[in-house]
């Protein structure tokens, strides 16, 4: 009897570590499965709201994501962040959706900006040595006129990220100079009569059947006048966003050809879905063509945003461009507060600070 008891306790002593190990392994497996389920649910939430806009969040000179949709995007990111609170990229998504709402609403502009800045502050508290949230906070506080708060954030960034921070005060100053620019300060229509001078015509959304809108035709007429004054200059028509299978660039190129412009002068940039894309892809073409002087052609209400983003995109490619601009008059009105925030956002995007990290520039 005693021998059996001893055997039992010996078996128990040997078995407990085994079962404990098995229990820990099972627990770890369960946690891994739970985490995988959360990852999948989170990914599905984001895919549902951002799937149609992957790559770029907006279209040329006008957001395809409505303020209502931005509200849906905010709600999705908030739910995803609730499921996975340790993922800071999801909090960035919340803030970006709030900024998107602020650029599209007059009645809730202050509320949305305040909420977005609060989220960036939350991220800064969780990632005390982080760069992106602090930079976005510095940019947006400056955009809404809170200069002291912005300078304080920049000073903190310089203490921990001197080299990464160094170019941004100058970028912000450049934005402010463009925003103060009067449209009557239009420079000459061309810089020189040479092949080193390029023309970039920005696209605008097509009609649903793929035809050109009056706003776009106004830009094309200005571009045509310039093209005839400078017959050596290559012309980049910039815009994707296909409608009825036709891109903005394709429609614009055919308009120019019908006006007698040789196809040899036309270069189609049909990858972009918004002004940031227009600038990034057009600068790549300008670099390939060896262009050193460029005239941007767009609508008056779009000029400041286009110019600010294009300057940043050219800097990112190391281009030393002399830039002039030519505008067509339009009836659109621009809210200055919303324009400031949109320009700061898009210049930051063009500099490499993604609006939705890992998902959309």
- pLDDT on residue 349: 95
Crossing angle of helices 275-289 and 303-316, rounded to 10°: 50
| Statement: 187-330 belongs to CATH 3.40.50.620 | yes
Sign for the pseudo-dihedral over CA of 253, 276, 347, 339 = positive
- pLDDT on residue 285: 97
- pLDDT on residue 333: 83
Neighbours of 44 (CB within 10 A): 12
Residue range 24-50: mean pLDDT, rounded? 72
Tokens 């709030």 map to which residue?
A: 98
Indicate the domain borders of the chain. Answer: 33-166+331-361, 187-330
- pLDDT on residue 92: 95
Check whether 3 has a pLDDT greater than 60.
Answer: no
Check whether 173 has a pLDDT greater than 90.
Answer: yes
- pLDDT on residue 354: 81
- pLDDT on residue 43: 83
Alpha-carbon separation of residue 147 from 139, 142, 168 (angstroms): 9, 5, 14
Check whether 192 has a pLDDT greater than 70.
Answer: no
Which pLDDT tens digit goes with each residue over 198-246?
A: 999 999 999 999 999 999 999 999 999 999 989 989 999 999 999 999 9
Which pLDDT tens digit goes with each residue over 40-74?
A: 888 888 888 776 654 433 433 333 566 668 899 99
**33-166+331-361 topology per CATH:** 1.25.40
User: Which DSSP string corresponds to 8-52?
Assistant: HHHHHHHHHHHHHHHHHHHHHHHHHHHHHHHHHHHHHHHHHHHGG
Which pLDDT tens digit goes with each residue over 325-352?
A: 888 888 788 899 999 999 999 999 999 9
- pLDDT on residue 58: 42
Share of the chain above pLDDT 90, in %: 68
- pLDDT on residue 105: 80
Check whether 288 has a pLDDT greater than 90.
Answer: yes
Residue range 263-269: mean pLDDT, rounded? 97
Helices (H) and strands (E) in the chain, counts: 13, 5
pTM of structure: 0.85
SS3 98: helix
* Residue 290 binned pLDDT confidence (cut-offs 50, 70, 90): very high
Contact 341, 143 (CB under 8 A): yes
Contact 196, 293 (CB under 8 A): yes
Per-residue burial over 213-230, b if 16 or more Cβ lie within 10 Å, else e, is eebbebbbebbbebbeeb
Nearest-angstrom CA–CA distance, 151 and 263: 50
């Amino acid at each position: 009897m005693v021998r059996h008891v001893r055997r039992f306790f010996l078996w128990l002593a040997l078995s407990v570590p085994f079962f404990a190990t098995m229990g820990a392994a099972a627990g770890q497996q369960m946690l891994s499965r739970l985490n995988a389920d959360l990852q999948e649910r989170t990914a599905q939430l984001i895919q549902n709201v951002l799937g149609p806009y992957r790559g770029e969040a907006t279209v040329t000179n006008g957001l395809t994501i409505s303020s209502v949709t931005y509200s849906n995007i905010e709600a999705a990111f908030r739910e995803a962040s609730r499921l996975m609170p340790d993922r800071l990229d999801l909090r960035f998504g919340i803030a970006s959706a709030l900024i998107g709402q602020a650029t599209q609403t007059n009645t809730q502009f202050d509320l949305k900006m305040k909420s977005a800045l609060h989220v960036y502050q939350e991220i800064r508290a969780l990632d005390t040595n982080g760069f992106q949230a602090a930079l976005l906070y510095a940019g947006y506080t400056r955009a809404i006129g809170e200069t002291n708060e912005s300078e304080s954030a920049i000073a903190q960034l310089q203490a921990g990220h001197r080299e990464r921070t160094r170019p941004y005060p100058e970028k912000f100053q450049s934005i402010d100079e463009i925003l103060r620019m009067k449209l009557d300060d239009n420079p000459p229509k061309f810089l020189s009569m040479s092949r080193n001078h390029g023309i970039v015509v920005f696209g605008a959304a097509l009609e649903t059947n793929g035809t050109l809108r009056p706003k776009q035709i106004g830009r094309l007429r200005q571009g045509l006048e310039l093209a005839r004054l400078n017959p050596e200059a290559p012309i980049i028509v910039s815009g994707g966003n296909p409608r009825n299978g036709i891109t903005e660039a394709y429609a614009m190129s055919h308009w120019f050809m019908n006006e007698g412009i040789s196809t040899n002068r036309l270069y189609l940039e049909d990858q972009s879905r918004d002004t940031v894309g227009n600038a990034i892809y057009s600068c790549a073409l300008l670099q390939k063509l060896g262009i050193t002087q460029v005239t941007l052609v767009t609508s008056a209400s779009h000029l400041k945003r286009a110019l600010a983003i294009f300057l940043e995109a050219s800097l990112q490619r190391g281009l030393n461009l002399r830039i002039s601009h030519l505008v067509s008059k339009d009836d659109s009105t621009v809210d200055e507060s919303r324009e400031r925030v949109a320009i700061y956002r898009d210049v930051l995007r063009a500099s490499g600070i993604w609006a939705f990290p890992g998902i959309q520039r």
